[in-house]
Structure 1
Amino acid sequence: MVLKRKKGKYMDRLDLMTIFVAVAEAESFSGGARRLAMSPPAVTRAISALESRLAVKLLDRTTRYVRVTELGQRYLDDARRIIAEVDEAEDALVGINGTPKGQLTLTAPVLFGKMFVMPVVVEYLQRYPSMDVSALFLDRVVNMMEEGVDVGIRVGELPDSSLKAVRIGQIRRVLCASPQYLAEYGVPNHPHDLQQHRIVAATGVTPSVEWKFWQEQQALSVRLRPRLTVTTNDGAIESALAGFGVTRLMSYQIAHFVESGQLQILLPDFESAPLPIHVLHREGRHKSARVRSFVDLVVERLRQEKALS
């Protein structure tokens, strides 16, 4: 967003709010300036003008960082809400049959995003040339309100929130190993048998060394000592494919390798309940053409994926 100036002053309060939000989120004047395609001095003058107008210190500044003050945090929350409502009001003017345009920010888990979301993003951008997308693929729970995210794909049970959720499928947390490994070390018949096997732990899926299973509707925990611990699911998959050991991953992550016979699922009778997958979005008083069009497309495409059913 490039802000215009008139007679040496910023045109309105919304412009000042937008600049403040950019600086606060970037925790940097230069970072906020880059985000808005403005010069750092212009951003600095805008923040000073806003603080003078409000007679409140919004930001603590040092040579190393910029942080919002306690009052600044309250103003930041209100500013984000106001800007979002203005964006939604403008989107509403496009009309239900209008062409979406503007910026959309989405988030999804890393491997899920690579496998399932990126094809939808490419299709969406090709369908709507006036749209830009920022995709945050992270293996952590993103606070969509605080981080300005429009759409999120979330795996697992959802806490209570004001977000609108559309369920599109489910996945399982599964054990697997290669046929070569199982031919050499045997197939475990009970979770306790895993203590005699080489274990590969993917911290993104199973951060604890105590793995939980279910037996006759009762929880069963097995404490394991991994021979290999990796921070990425890709790393765990590669080690399993190489025949190193037994690992635990999400069913969608290995569906292709199970289908091709490169990996074999173990102990299916001891699996925990499936985990739901939802598409989340912020639903305001006005319907957003850009959000609605992406949600409709991603829900349709993900519901067609066999690995997510």
Structure 2
Amino acid sequence: MSDAGQYGAYCEDAAYTRTGNESWREIGMDRLREMEVFVAIVDSGSFTSASEKLGLSTAAVSRALNSLEARTGAQLLARTTRSVRPTDAGVAYLDACRHVLDAVADAEANIGAFHIKPVGTLTISAPVLFGQRFVAPLVNAFALRYPDVSIHAVYVDRTTRLLDEGVDVAIRIGHLGDPTTFAVPLGFVRRRTYAAPAYLQTRGEPVHPRELTRHDCVSFTGVTNPLEWVFRDRGARLPVRLQPRMIVDLAPAAIAAASDGVGITQLLSYQATPEVLGRRLRPILKAFEPEPVPVNMLHVERRGASGKIRAFLEFVTEALRTNPHLRSEDRLRSAVRGKRPPAHRD
């Protein structure tokens, strides 16, 4: 019988009832299974989908959740006829469940998976310019080290849906909102406003974001809302409505237009680094920059669940975390000049 079948049979037979003669081992196994059921309900969004994922009946899934809520003394899920979502207590407990289940998965994987050679097809996605500059060299090195892994690299300036599009690992720039994925933090980048020195000499440099309404602007849809750029003023969010002279959907097009003096643009800090160093672009309105944007590496499997994914995460994580473009500006200047970065942590 498969693991799912054994799991389902156990749940149906035991019906999550306990007696005074139960061993601590049996109780511990019940708790892990109840946690798996709870996580599966949240990740899949319904009792029915969770039951299909785990190979259980819907009644068994419901009994497992009821047992878990009775034991914790808290309502973990808010149910309606159309949706299931975690309560505040459920959100807090969900994180704890994931840590416990990940620890168990890691322990099991470490027993036999460390010496298994990664094989299969690995699908990776990343933003175009970030992928070309920072991810592609690491992907190439990974392919050389693991010849039995085939690589499908997708570089697009849109949010890829991992489960729906069959993506194993995705580099995501921005705040996360998908509870079905696991995130590996890599660092931060800045959203900055740039203009060519020649443009500023002709049109003048704006000293406040609201002055942008009197300037020509180039909106890059991969970074900003084309009709609204967001800044911060004295700690508060400051949106500025625009009528852009040009709207583009690729970073190189925005960079080229701004460098040629077409107008002012907003980019992520790493995108304009060569042009800033070459003095073709200059950052402006730095006092009004919004908060840093997080960069994460997402995957849909727990650590150790797949040899190819685990190997790729281990291969690229440290390299990306130490990339100066994902760290402070001081470290970036030091790296460009070949100097050792300061010892403080960001």
Choose from 112, 121, 129 the match for 2:139.
121
In structure 2, runs of 5+ residues without a counterpart are 1-48, 55-108, 328-346
Choose from 226, 240, 260 the match for 2:278.
260
What whole-Å deviation, never above 9, does each CA across 1:19-76 have from its counterpart, x for those lacking one?
xxxxxxxxxxxxxxxxxxxxxxxxxxxxxxxxxxxxxxxxxxxxxxxxxxxxxxx8xx
Larger CA deviation: 167-176 vs 210-219: 210-219
TM-score normalized with structure 2 length: 0.60
Partner of 1:135: 153
How many percent of aligned residue pairs carry the same amino acid?
40
Q: Residue 220 of structure 2 contacts residue 226 of structure 2 at CA under 8 Å; is this kept in 1?
A: no
Mapped to 1, the partners of 2:138 and 2:232 lie a distance apart of 35
Question: What is the root-mean-square deviation in Å for CA atoms of aligned residues?
Answer: 2.4
Partner of 2:301: 283
Partner of 2:216: 198
Shift of 1:136: 1.6
Shift of 1:144: 0.8
Assess, with a 3 A threshold, how the Cα gap between structure 1 residues 239 and 208 changes in structure 2: closer, same or farther.
Answer: closer
What whole-Å deviation, never above 9, does each CA across 1:237-272 have from its counterpart, x for those lacking one?
001111221001111111222122221111011111
Q: Residue 157 of structure 2 contacts residue 250 of structure 2 at CA under 8 Å; is this kept in 1?
A: no
Partner of 1:100: 118
What whole-Å deviation, never above 9, does each CA across 1:134-154 have from its counterpart, x for those lacking one?
112222222211222111111
Shift of 1:172: 1.1
* SS in structure 1 at match of 2:225: coil
Partner of 1:31: none
Mapped to 2, the partners of 1:215 and 1:175 lie a distance apart of 15
Q: Residue 303 of structure 2 contacts residue 310 of structure 2 at CA under 8 Å; is this kept in 1?
A: no
* SS in structure 1 at match of 2:252: helix
Mapped to 1, the partners of 2:148 and 2:319 lie a distance apart of 21
**2:209 matched to 1:179?**
no
Choose from 180, 185, 189 the match for 1:167.
185
- Give the count of matched residue pairs: 225
Q: Larger RCO: Structure 1 or Structure 2 (Cα < 8 Å, ≥ 6 residues apart)?
A: 1
Partner of 2:103: none
* SS in structure 2 at match of 1:157: coil
Mapped to 2, the partners of 1:109 and 1:270 lie a distance apart of 25
Shift of 1:293: 1.1
In structure 1, runs of 5+ residues without a counterpart are 1-73, 80-90
Partner of 1:155: 173
Q: Residue 92 of structure 1 contacts residue 288 of structure 1 at CA under 8 Å; is this kept in 2?
A: no
Assess, with a 3 A threshold, how the Cα gap between structure 1 residues 173 and 291 changes in structure 2: closer, same or farther.
Answer: same
Residue type matched to 1:291 in 2?
A: I
Residue type matched to 1:186 in 2?
A: G
Partner of 1:216: 234
